[in-house]
Structure 1
Amino acid sequence: MRTLPFYIGGFLGPFGGGVVAVLVPQLRDAFDATTAGVAATIPAYLIPFAVLQLVSGTIGERLGRRRVVRTAYFAYALLSLAAAFVPSLGGFLVIRALQGCANAFLTPLLLAGLADLVSARQLGRAVGTFAAVQTAAVALAPLGGGLLGAFDWRLVFLVQSAVAVALALMPPADPEKRDEAPRLRAVLTRRVGLLSGAAFTAYAGVTGIGFLVAVEAADAFSVGSIMRGVLLAGFGVAGMLLGRAAGDAVDRFGRVPVSLVGIAISSALVVTMGIAPSPLALGAIWFAVGLGSALVWAGINVLAVEAVPGNRAGGTSVVSAFKFAGNAVAPLMWLPLYHADPRLGFLGAGILAATAALFIAPLRVAR
């Protein structure tokens, strides 16, 4: 039970980032805006969220995890409340950007706090579960947003506000006192650089292609919006089912081997999605990709929290910044290829995902 608030907090950020995608029609009517204008709220959240994580972990370690996380939760709650009642699209865009900034101070500090809370023998299991929860949030955001939005789109933000207030009452503990304050330059290492490259390519090539799967389901098989949400949710469900087992595998077989196996499975399956013969096959493959992804992130996240012992949240936040940057740029990378030929979009994503192995392989550590 001590770890539950960490997992809920890990779910909240990615869910808040992706939930707007399914609310575009309602928001378009509410603000009397264009589809493009409302769609801009997605990068408005993700870009500050990704960029600020380059420094947010180190700032949080210096100022104190407990204080920073509690403040960030309260800020996120107030911003979510404001998002539910803001009268214009311009104001909504500003609020979304500020929400991304607030969440940048949550994800890496929660992961670092979780790593400090559990024993070394259970680190893989705990971090693997955290990774699965975040993956599930990305995949389940359209489904959750769609269900709440069917009643009123404002409920999406009011629920997030209530959850953030509750989590603010359960912040992570501060680490033991150090001889010197954590420094940003401590994270500027080859190891963090390799992990950042792996995080970017794996997210852009695997987790971040959910939109492409949705487009393929609609264009090739005329799947409706509700069933598209169910199909996309399969990825997150797979991650949830395998997350803890993937973490156990990391503890038993090692961080790097498990990550490499996951990369091989995920990248190969992504390529085949462009030639799926039916919506059932497409959903089954996407579910299997989610299983492979759980292995990838169980290994990468453990490597990240161990990369900079003196500034655990700082190293984690830099890797996380590149991870969500991959999510943000995925549409820009794959949509042009998809429009030329749907098979090319998935082929490009699969090839990029496979390159994550080039970043992970040099990081061999003792079993």
Structure 2
Amino acid sequence: MALRLDEDFQLSAGARGLVLTGFGLTGILTARAVGRAVDRFGARRCALTGTVAGGVLLAGVGLLWAAAGPAMQLIMVGLNALVLAGNGDNRGGAVSVGQSLRFGGGALSPVAFVPVYHLDPLDAFLLPAALLLTTAPVVLPRMPPAQPR
């Protein structure tokens, strides 16, 4: 995203930082609503909703970056809720592994996608969007719906 903001929009480092901060800020501002949505509609449904919204927003990331923050919140809260609702003995450990994979993916994404960006900037956004949209429905566990409170 920072590369695109620099190359296509000629934003200064400070302006790029402000745009990039919008992702996290919108995630923070919607965190409570996302938590309520996961409780109300279920973790898997919310994680899939976040996946679809995130994939679409990722494909149009130049204009929709900040809006992707709540989609990421849906994915992360939904995944954590799925893990914590499981029957395993080490659910905290499972959440920890999930979070480490999240940060590991973030660390590896420049290695994977910057070369793609240099070949075709649009493909560098479409490829991860396609990966997100095609893998999440397959790998997310199916669980019986939670009983309403």
TM value normalised by structure 2: 0.90
Aligned partner (choices 226, 230, 248) of residue 14 of structure 2: 226
Q: Take 1:365 and 1:288, find their aligned partners in 2: how far apart are those partners?
A: 30
The structure that has the greater radius of gyration is 1
Report the counterpart of residue 217 of structure 1 in structure 2: 5
Per-residue deviation, 1:364: 2.7
Compared CA separation, residues 306 and 364, structure 1 to 2 (3 A): closer
What's the counterpart of residue 301 of structure 1?
80
Deviation of the 1:365 alpha carbon: 2.7
Unaligned ranges ≥5, structure 2: none
Distance 1:364 1:256 in 2: 8
Instruction: Provide Cα deviations, 1:245-265, integer angstroms capped at 9, x if missing partner.
Output: 111011111111111111000
Displacement of 1:342 after TM fit? 0.4
Deviations 1:122-155 (A, max 9, x none): xxxxxxxxxxxxxxxxxxxxxxxxxxxxxxxxxx
> How do residues 1-367 of structure 1 correspond to structure 2 at under 5 angstroms?
213-273=1-61, 276=62, 282=63, 285-354=64-133, 355-360=135-140, 362-367=141-146
Q: Report the CA distance between 1:272 and its aligned residue.
A: 1.7
Distance 1:219 1:365 in 2: 47
Normalized per residue, which structure has more helix? 1
Report the CA distance between 1:325 and its aligned residue.
1.6
Q: Specify whether residues 307 and 319 from structure 1 end up closer, same or farther in structure 2 by C-alpha distance, changes over 3 A only.
A: farther
TM-score, normalisation: structure 1: 0.38
Taking the aligned partners of 1:249 and 1:312, their CA distance within structure 2 comes to 21
Deviation at 1:308, TM superposition (A): 4.8
| Percentage identity across paired residues of the two chains | 34
Contact map agreement 1:235 1:286 (CA 8 A) in 2: yes
2: CA distance, partners of 1:325 / 1:332 = 11
CA contact (8 A) 1:238 1:288 kept: yes
Secondary structure at the counterpart of residue 145 of structure 2: coil
Unpaired runs of 5+ residues, structure 1, are: 1-212, 277-281
1:307 and 1:315 in contact (8 A); partners too: no
CA contact (8 A) 1:258 1:299 kept: yes
Offset at residue 240 of structure 1 (A) = 0.6
Q: Deviations over 1:67-117 (max 9, x none)?
A: xxxxxxxxxxxxxxxxxxxxxxxxxxxxxxxxxxxxxxxxxxxxxxxxxxx
